[in-house]
Structure 1
Amino acid sequence: MTSPGLALFTGPVGAAMRTVPPLLSPAAPVAQAIEAMRAADESSVIVVDEAGRAVGILTERDVLRRVAFRLPADAPVSAAMSAPVRSVPQDERLYRAVGLMRAHGLRHLPVVDGKGRPLGMLRRFETYAAASARLLAAVETLARGDDEAGFAATRAAQAGLARTLLDEGLPAAEVIGVVSEINLDIHRWVVERALAVAGPPPVPFTLLVMGSAGRGESQLAPDQDNGLILQDYDDARHGEVDAWFIPFAEDLNRRLEAAGFPLCKGHVMARNPVWRKTLTQWKAQVTLWAERRSPVALLFGDIAFDFRPVWGDAQPAAALREHLKRTLAAHPVFLAALAAEDAKMTVGLSFWGGFRDDEPDRPGVRTDLKRSGLMPLVSATRLLALKHGVAETGTRARLAALAQLGPVSQAEAEGLAAAFERLAGALLRQQLDDVAAGRPPGTLVELPALPRAEQAAIRAAMKRVASFQKGVVSSFGGGVW
């Protein structure tokens, strides 16, 4: 069951705000403000200018501190209000708003539209009521600042947040989803900061994330897998477009690195022209991959096909997804080739059912739970999803969609989702232990050191994944092409 505090991290502020309190002009007398609060049974009024934009706030606390026995009833509300007023946009994540309220000791936080006009109000007591004290403390660590150093601090704080959510009883897969969403928020903020320096782009663009980020399955140490879809433009503008996007993409990837996302060693980033193209060029590239089936094409497809738009117009990504669906339907041999490659990622069990040692040079038995546990499941599920035109990118969402379509039974989908939860949970807890010990979060887990019941559950999960992977590969002709 989902923790009630999860909404603090994944939902927009609109889900928690109350209706907008009374709105008054700066010249309105404080007596009118007090009467408006009483009549509306509200604890605040928002002061707006002639354009309807919030310029101040007067709360019951302000009345006690600044009005009672100090100001005459006909004094303008501007003499008692708090200004400038802190506010948040309606699409802001609730965890950011809660962090802002805690960091600045705010009891009221107006929610505004794109022009700064009030839409509603967040009230501290009601907003906090959904979360435990530990969750609130974890939230506070996430609202660090609106620059790359602040974003990096947010990234670093995710381990504490993840540990708190696990301890609160949130399933590991849900915790990973929360971490992933926060990472995507950071990507969006970084784009905005890069645009503030670069100025308006010559053509609109969409930022894509790929790999684990595109699946919403980022663990605690994700690197960058991103690209840009540019709006199509005339060839005559090529020089102008490149002159803007080349430095922009370099700056974007540098800022993401400074925010805690290491550069991708495989150069799957917007700064690489392979991953920065117009929609027409992206479609042609996907078609070329499917036709040639080279090792590089298979590697790129394995990363890119989990793409997800995170900034800009989502329609180009939807158009690319539809083109991918048609292309793979016309080139089924490409999926067979992918199956042959994915079959090389074997589950980390020995012939006798013991855990495979993926680090034989060190004492003990350590199994790479990402490559030898999660990835065989992720890859096999992706293959089936691509074959059947499933648009979802997350592994659990893909399993649910496949169960609806019929290639996977409902019972099998539920069993595989449980296996994903078991393996992802063991990996996440290992990464949290790594962070607590001052080590970089890794993917190797000393499974024999776990309690016997946990070992048995992980072994059963890996066997289920191995059986599923074998069946999927066989359905593509055994991976022979």
Structure 2
Amino acid sequence: MAKASADIRGAAHLPEQPGQAFRSLRRVAFEVEHQHPVTAVMTAPVVTIGADEFLFHAIATMRRLDIRHLPAVDGAGALVGVLRLKDALFETDHRLMEEIDALAGDGGLAGLGAVKAGLGTIAGRLLADGIPVPEIQALLTEVNNDVIRRVTGLVLEDMAASGPGAPPVEFSVIVMGSGGRGENFIHPDQDNGLILADYPDGAHDSVDGWFMEFADRLTLALDRAGFPLCKGHVMATNPVWRKTVSQWKAQVNIWVATRSAATLGFCDILFDFRSVWGRAALARELRRHVLHTVADNPSFLRDLAAESETAGVALGFFDRFILVRDDQPHKGTLNLKQSAALPLIEAVRIIALREGVEALSTLGRMDALAEAGYLDRDEHDYLVGAYHHLCWLILRHQVAAARDGQEVSYYVAPERLTRREKDILVDGLRAIRRFRERVRAELTGDIF
């Protein structure tokens, strides 16, 4: 799939309107004295795109804002080029233009909800075109995160206009889980939190009161836009997930020292976090603290690995599939998330933490571990292949369920798989099981 970049920072706040560029040019030519500075006529702030973004999303953004050019920047914010809408459209499969326009939305919650609702159709079209599933997941994640950014902007505008006013301190909205790893499927729920800049203790009541109100409005607005409320309350409304950066660091220290089942579960949720709005430096500061704290604590990693053993691989004696029990919902099916993908994701995360790997995606972490020599060529190949196959099976199942109006889930009936698909799945689950056994042996000394 063609890529062109669109890290659309602050898209919800951009002032660019239809005809604005022409009006600015007209003012330069006819209305402004030649001695006036550029700032008198320029459009600001400038919409930019990141150099690694999908062309798909860049086109949607330009069409939504009715602009024809986007400066492309690198990770440091330096200009590396300019994307022209005309050139982007020329490179794009015209069969996708209807779906691309759906990503533009109308800016309100209803329009953003329509964007979310259309992701199943877009994913199905890309899957049918043979786009690798991790690339589709990356696109779904970026669209979802862009919706979160735009909803955040709407909530902030509403609070500024309705009484609470502007934020009392800088902050970052973070997403966790698959959203943080860039591995969304079609219908993720909310896993979000807030990192606040530090402020004086005496201001706690007023500052936290503002962010309590903001968190309530944000999570309800996201629910209306198509992100269901998290049943486990992993949301900014929960004070566990809403703290200053110093409070976050102290909480991580407590979790790592305590190592109860609950705190290990919290760590498992948090460690894939990513900033999607606001002051990203706060998230980077917390990320550095997490990596430093965890890498120097082998006993914590051992306990985290032991806790992750509860998510076993769905492969039993004689390599027969372990299916959901008859007394459970979805009986007779394979849970490809809980009993296949998660065991790999968690084991890779644990070793990545130990090795100080900063990558967040599962594939990125495996690549980094291979580059560092931890994974040899064959083991890396098996695990990457297993991950690709699992994600392909899950997304194909979810696309079909969404198309047919059925529940979108991770439960797949084995009889719906071809013999070849089953053989590849068994090989992949074997590789995951071997890797987990290796991780357990390294961290615990237990080889059985």
Shorter-chain TM-score category?
0.7 to 0.9
Q: Cα RMSD between the aligned structures?
A: 3.0
Q: CA deviation at 1:140?
A: 1.9
Q: CA deviation at 1:141?
A: 1.9
Cα distance in 1 for partners of 2:369, 2:203 equals 43
Aligned to 1:445: 412
1:144 to 99, 105, 113: 105
Segments of 5+ residues of structure 2 without an aligned counterpart are 10-20, 31-37, 73-80, 161-165
Matched, 1:185 2:146: yes
2:258 to 287, 292, 305: 292
Aligned to 2:228: 262
**SS of equivalent residue, structure 2 residue 428:** helix
Aligned to 1:331: 297
Alignment of 1:149-228 (within 5 A): 149-199=110-160, 200-228=166-194
1:321-347 per-position Cα deviation (integer Å, ceiling 9, x unaligned)? 221122223432111111111112111
Matched, 1:90 2:48: yes
Cα distance in 2 for partners of 1:370, 1:225 equals 17
Aligned to 2:78: none
Q: Which has the larger radius of gyration?
A: 1
Would the alpha carbon gap of residues 102 and 110 (structure 1) be closer, same or farther in structure 2, given more than 3 Å must change?
Answer: closer
Would the alpha carbon gap of residues 281 and 28 (structure 1) be closer, same or farther in structure 2, given more than 3 Å must change?
Answer: closer
Alignment of 1:376-391 (within 5 A): 376-391=343-358
Cα distance in 1 for partners of 2:317, 2:326 equals 17
**SS of equivalent residue, structure 1 residue 393:** coil
Aligned to 1:432: 399
Cα distance in 2 for partners of 1:403, 1:270 equals 36
Q: CA deviation at 1:479?
A: 6.9
Segments of 5+ residues of structure 1 without an aligned counterpart are 15-19, 30-48, 56-86, 114-118
Contact 1:287 1:327 in 2 (8 A): yes
Cα distance in 2 for partners of 1:364, 1:324 equals 39
Cα distance in 1 for partners of 2:264, 2:240 equals 14
**SS of equivalent residue, structure 1 residue 401:** helix
Aligned to 2:77: none
Aligned to 1:11: 6
Aligned to 1:229: 195
1:147-171 per-position Cα deviation (integer Å, ceiling 9, x unaligned)? 2211111111111111111122211
Structure 1 window deviating more from structure 2 (129-138 vs 466-475): it is 129-138
Matched, 1:357 2:323: yes
Aligned to 1:129: 90
Structure 1 window deviating more from structure 2 (323-332 vs 441-450): it is 323-332
1:2-60 per-position Cα deviation (integer Å, ceiling 9, x unaligned)? x22x44xx53589xxxxx9997425958xxxxxxxxxxxxxxxxxxx9822469xxxxx
Contact 2:64 2:106 in 1 (8 A): no
Amino acid across the alignment from 2:231: K
Would the alpha carbon gap of residues 339 and 12 (structure 1) be closer, same or farther in structure 2, given more than 3 Å must change?
Answer: closer
Aligned to 1:51: 40
Matched, 1:109 2:104: no
Aligned to 1:245: 211
1:51-105 per-position Cα deviation (integer Å, ceiling 9, x unaligned)? 22469xxxxxxxxxxxxxxxxxxxxxxxxxxxxxxx982239754553477689x
Alignment of 1:413-432 (within 5 A): 413-432=380-399
Cα distance in 1 for partners of 2:25, 2:256 equals 62
Cα distance in 1 for partners of 2:28, 2:199 equals 52
Amino acid across the alignment from 1:299: G
Cα distance in 2 for partners of 1:329, 1:122 equals 45
Q: CA deviation at 1:474?
A: 1.5
Cα distance in 1 for partners of 2:321, 2:311 equals 15
Amino acid across the alignment from 1:149: A
Contact 2:103 2:143 in 1 (8 A): no
Q: CA deviation at 1:121?
A: 7.2
Cα distance in 2 for partners of 1:221, 1:96 equals 18
Contact 1:206 1:312 in 2 (8 A): yes
Cα distance in 1 for partners of 2:8, 2:233 equals 36
Aligned to 1:406: 373
Cα distance in 2 for partners of 1:280, 1:161 equals 41
**SS of equivalent residue, structure 1 residue 326:** helix
Amino acid across the alignment from 2:133: A
Would the alpha carbon gap of residues 203 and 176 (structure 1) be closer, same or farther in structure 2, given more than 3 Å must change?
Answer: same
**SS of equivalent residue, structure 1 residue 228:** strand
**SS of equivalent residue, structure 1 residue 385:** helix
Q: CA deviation at 1:451?
A: 1.5
Contact 2:63 2:104 in 1 (8 A): no
Contact 1:232 1:279 in 2 (8 A): yes
Contact 1:365 1:448 in 2 (8 A): no
Calculate the TM-score normalised by the size of structure 2.
Answer: 0.85
Would the alpha carbon gap of residues 418 and 319 (structure 1) be closer, same or farther in structure 2, given more than 3 Å must change?
Answer: same
Would the alpha carbon gap of residues 260 and 28 (structure 1) be closer, same or farther in structure 2, given more than 3 Å must change?
Answer: same
Contact 1:448 1:455 in 2 (8 A): no
Aligned to 1:375: 342
Would the alpha carbon gap of residues 241 and 416 (structure 1) be closer, same or farther in structure 2, given more than 3 Å must change?
Answer: same
Cα distance in 2 for partners of 1:12, 1:318 equals 17
Contact 1:21 1:121 in 2 (8 A): no
Would the alpha carbon gap of residues 178 and 111 (structure 1) be closer, same or farther in structure 2, given more than 3 Å must change?
Answer: closer
Aligned to 2:421: 454
Cα distance in 2 for partners of 1:431, 1:208 equals 26
Q: CA deviation at 1:172?
A: 0.9
Would the alpha carbon gap of residues 292 and 430 (structure 1) be closer, same or farther in structure 2, given more than 3 Å must change?
Answer: same
**SS of equivalent residue, structure 1 residue 360:** coil
Amino acid across the alignment from 1:140: D
Cα distance in 2 for partners of 1:307, 1:149 equals 27
Cα distance in 2 for partners of 1:178, 1:321 equals 24
Structure 1 window deviating more from structure 2 (359-368 vs 462-471): it is 359-368
Cα distance in 1 for partners of 2:61, 2:49 equals 15
Amino acid across the alignment from 1:109: R
Contact 1:339 1:383 in 2 (8 A): yes
Would the alpha carbon gap of residues 167 and 300 (structure 1) be closer, same or farther in structure 2, given more than 3 Å must change?
Answer: same
Q: CA deviation at 1:411?
A: 3.2
Would the alpha carbon gap of residues 478 and 148 (structure 1) be closer, same or farther in structure 2, given more than 3 Å must change?
Answer: farther
Calculate the TM-score normalised by the size of structure 1.
Answer: 0.79
Cα distance in 1 for partners of 2:194, 2:275 equals 9
Q: CA deviation at 1:120?
A: 6.2
Cα distance in 2 for partners of 1:302, 1:455 equals 30
Q: CA deviation at 1:283?
A: 0.5
